[in-house]
Structure formats: C-alpha cells, structure tokens
C-alpha cells in the first residue's frame, strides 16, 4: 500500500464518507473532537475531492501518537508548565482596582520577556496581546484595553507560553478587591468543577467522564456550562486535538492513557450558557458573570499529575 492509500480527516468528514473502510471509522468514533483524526486505507483517495485530505501514513500516525507524549516531551512540557504557573501567580498578584487591563498585559509581557519565553497568544490568528484578560461577563479571549478594573469585578487571566517548541497554558479567575457573595460562589464552584474534572482524569476513564463530572457539579449549583469553548490537548502546540469538553455524557469519547497531556478549563456562567462574540471578544449573552479556571494535566499509570499550580 502506498502513501496515497491513507488519509486524515475531520471526524465529520470521516464519518460522512461512504467508502471508508472499517478501521478508519473505528478510529474516528473513538475520538470526540472538532479536528478529529481518522486514519485508514481508502480505495478512492486519488479521485476524492470532497471528503479527504491526503496525508502520508507517517504523518497521520504522528498525529495520533502525538497524543501520547514521550518522556523527553513530558519533561520539557512540565518545565514550561512550572514557568507558566509562576507567571500566572505573579500576574494575579498584580491585579488591583484602578489599573487597566492594558497595563496588566504590559506588565505580563515584560515578565514574559524577562523569563526568555514566548507569549503564544500574541499574533495567534491575529490576537493582539500576550494575555487574555476576561472581565465579568467576558467568557474568554478578552483583549486588554483601557477599561479600568474596579472593586467587585472578577477577572480571568489566561496565558500561554512557549519555548523551543514546548507549550504551556493555564488560567484562573480572581476577584478585584472585595466581590459579591454570588460572584465569589461562581468563582469557587468553577474551581471545584476543575478539581472534580481532574479527579476524573485517570487512565481507563474517558474524556466524557471529565465533561460529565464538570457539568454535573456546575448545574447542581444552578450555574451553566459554556459549550462554545473547551479544553484541549497541549504540548507541542498550543491547541492539540482532541478537544476536552466540560459537558456531555459519561463513559464516551477517548479513553485516557498514560502520557496524555491536556488542559481542563471549565467556563462556567452565572446565568444562561449562551455566548455572544464580536471578533475575539466572547461575552455571556445575558450579561451575567462568567468564570474560568484551567490546569494542565498529565495522565500517569496510577492517576494523574497536575503540571500547573495556582
Ligand atoms: N487558553 C486559551 C484557549 O485555550 C488561549 C487562547 S490564546 C488566543 O483558548 F490567542 F487564542 F487568544
Ligand atoms: Co487552554
């Protein structure tokens, strides 16, 4: 079988293909993501125009095997995770009423330069800054501006850094000065969602178990789970497949195996889960608060290791 006998496609493409051989379909079913990989010999690749992107089998295998990191990759990614944890903790300590998110971003950028790493958000598909600073009803991807932070706000600081091709990503929401009881409950329940999600991230469980745990906890606290954004695998890129959903049925999706590294990042809304976007900016449709918290998790033989700290 030559190179052209293999293909890689999105899950929707793969499952839609009438010619797909069994093995590839199994593969696509075992994943649960937006850029899911399907791999398999295909009889009509040469003439296929619609459904398939051709690829060399080595490349396709690389993509699939990329989910299981090597020992060296784990060491390097863990180093980056330590660095981003220090950076996030510092950034959170700088938050104070009266400062603009633009100023906060400038301080973070200076620190990133001092650390000798790259701030991966800046320039990513045109994103203008090193940090995503999402205040109050902003769900994610808040672009720093001259709006001043004020007592009672909540702010999510979301950072991604890279060095020598290894990536780390984490985020946390905190209050600016004293915040309302309800805001504080939202922030703590979001953190609980994350820690429950992490507890579910063990070998033998599936991505669905993580999402189910998070959704159950959020909804039993009368909050809602954002569907438009999810966690993701990470390490050799900022966002790797598959996605790590914060919702959905248990026991579904990819089975977790030692060597996988991914970000769990529940985005929890005070009100309805709908999000409205304008360019990057993503806000709750009902204008109520949104909170997020993100860790990088490595699946180990016996459970997991949280690579980030905050
Ligand atoms: N942690 C964010 C995410 O996973 C990072 C986004 S960087 C941006 O979506 F450049 F896309 F904003
Ligand atoms: Co992330």
The number of the ligand 1 atom at minimal distance from the alpha carbon of 231 is: 4
The number of the ligand 1 atom at minimal distance from the alpha carbon of 170 is: 1
State which of 20-34, 54-68, 240-254, 291-305 shows the largest mean pLDDT.
291-305
Whether residues 154 and 34 fall in one domain: no
pLDDT at 197 over 50: yes
Whether residues 259 and 199 fall in one domain: yes
Give residue-wise pLDDT tens across range 8-61: 555 555 556 665 555 454 444 444 443 444 555 555 555 554 344 445 545 555
Instruction: Determine the distance separating the centroid of ligand 1 and the alpha carbon of 299, expressed in angstroms.
Output: 22
Alpha carbons 176 and 44: distance in angstroms, whole number: 59
pLDDT at 242 over 90: no
Tell me the average pLDDT across 195-215.
97
- CATH number of the domain where residue 215 is located: 3.90.230.10
- Please report which confidence band the pLDDT of residue 3 belongs to, taking 50, 70 and 90 as the band edges: very low
The number of the ligand 1 atom at minimal distance from the alpha carbon of 122 is: 10
Among 34, 50, 65, residue at a domain's last position: 65
Alpha carbons 255 and 57: distance in angstroms, whole number: 23
Q: Of 201, 95, 118, 125, whose CA–CA distance to 165 is shortest?
A: 118
What does pTM read for this prediction?
0.83
Which pLDDT value is given to residue 131?
98
| Protein residues whose CB sits closer than 6 Å to any atom of ligand 1 | 121, 124, 127, 132, 141, 158, 160, 169, 171
Which pLDDT value is given to residue 19?
58
**Residue among 140, 228, 241, 295 to mutate when testing ligand 1 (max atoms within 8 A of CB):** 140
Cis peptide before 242 (omega within 30 of 0): yes
Which pLDDT value is given to residue 42?
59
Which pLDDT value is given to residue 68?
86
Determine the structural domain holding residue 248 and report its residue range. Answer: 71-306
Whether residues 181 and 98 fall in one domain: yes
Whether residues 7 and 138 fall in one domain: no
- Please report which confidence band the pLDDT of residue 175 belongs to, taking 50, 70 and 90 as the band edges: very high
- Indicate the average pLDDT of the chain: 87
30 CB-near residues (< 8 Å, 6+ apart):
254, 255
Whether residues 98 and 18 fall in one domain: no
The number of the ligand 1 atom at minimal distance from the alpha carbon of 232 is: 4
Which pLDDT value is given to residue 253?
83
Task: Indicate which ligand has the atom closest to the C-alpha of 158.
Answer: 1
Distances (CA, A) of 166 to 13, 119, 130, 236, 301: 30, 12, 16, 5, 23
Instruction: Determine the distance separating the centroid of ligand 2 and the alpha carbon of 137, expressed in angstroms.
Output: 19
Alpha helices in 66-129 (DSSP H): 71-94, 101-115
Instruction: Determine the distance separating the centroid of ligand 2 and the alpha carbon of 18, expressed in angstroms.
Output: 35
Sign of CA dihedral 280, 285, 290, 295: negative
Whether residues 224 and 286 fall in one domain: yes
Whether residues 197 and 249 fall in one domain: yes
Residue identifier of the C-alpha nearest atom 7 of ligand 1? 121
Protein residues near ligand 2, an ion, with CB under 5 A: 169, 263
Whether residues 29 and 175 fall in one domain: no
Task: Tell me how many domains the chain contains.
Answer: 2
- Bridge partners for 140 per DSSP: 282
User: Is residue 99 left, alpha or beta, with left meaning phi > 0 and alpha meaning psi from -120 to 50?
Assistant: beta
Whether residues 33 and 81 fall in one domain: no
Tell me the average pLDDT across 164-189.
98
pLDDT at 174 over 80: yes
- Please report which confidence band the pLDDT of residue 254 belongs to, taking 50, 70 and 90 as the band edges: confident
């Amino acid at each position: 079988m030559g190179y052209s006998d293999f293909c890689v496609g999105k899950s929707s493409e793969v499952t839609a293909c009438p010619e797909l051989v069994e093995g590839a379909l199994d593969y696509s079913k075992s994943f649960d993501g937006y850029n899911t990989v399907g791999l398999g010999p295909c009889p009509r690749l040469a003439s296929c125009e619609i459904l398939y992107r051709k690829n060399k089998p080595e490349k396709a295998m690389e993509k699939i095997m990329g989910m299981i990191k090597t020992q060296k990759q784990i060491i390097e990614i863990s180093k980056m995770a330590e660095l981003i944890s220090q950076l996030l903790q510092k950034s959170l300590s700088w938050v104070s009423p009266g400062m603009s998110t633009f100023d906060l971003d400038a301080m973070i950028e200076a620190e990133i330069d001092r650390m000798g790493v790259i701030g991966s958000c800046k320039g990513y598909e045109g994103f203008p800054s090193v940090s995503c600073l999402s205040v109050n009803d902003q769900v994610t991807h808040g672009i720093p501006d001259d709006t001043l932070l004020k007592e009672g706000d909540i702010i999510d600081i979301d950072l991604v850094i890279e060095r020598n091709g290894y990536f780390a990503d984490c985020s946390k929401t905190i209050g600016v000065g004293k915040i309302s009881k309800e805001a504080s409950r939202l922030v703590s329940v979001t953190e609980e969602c994350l820690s429950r999600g992490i507890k579910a991230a063990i070998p033998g469980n599936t991505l669905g178990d993580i999402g189910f745990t998070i959704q159950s906890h959020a909804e039993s606290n009368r909050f809602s789970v954002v569907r438009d954004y999810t966690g993701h695998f990470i390490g050799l890129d900022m966002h790797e497949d598959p996605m790590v959903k914060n919702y959905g049925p248990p026991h579904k999706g990819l089975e977790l195996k030692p060597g996988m590294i991914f970000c769990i990042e529940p985005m929890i809304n005070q009100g309805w889960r709908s999000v409205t976007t304008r360019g990057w900016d993503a806000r709750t449709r009902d204008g109520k608060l949104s909170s997020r918290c993100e860790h990088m998790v490595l699946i180990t033989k016996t459970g997991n290791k949280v690579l980030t700290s905050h």
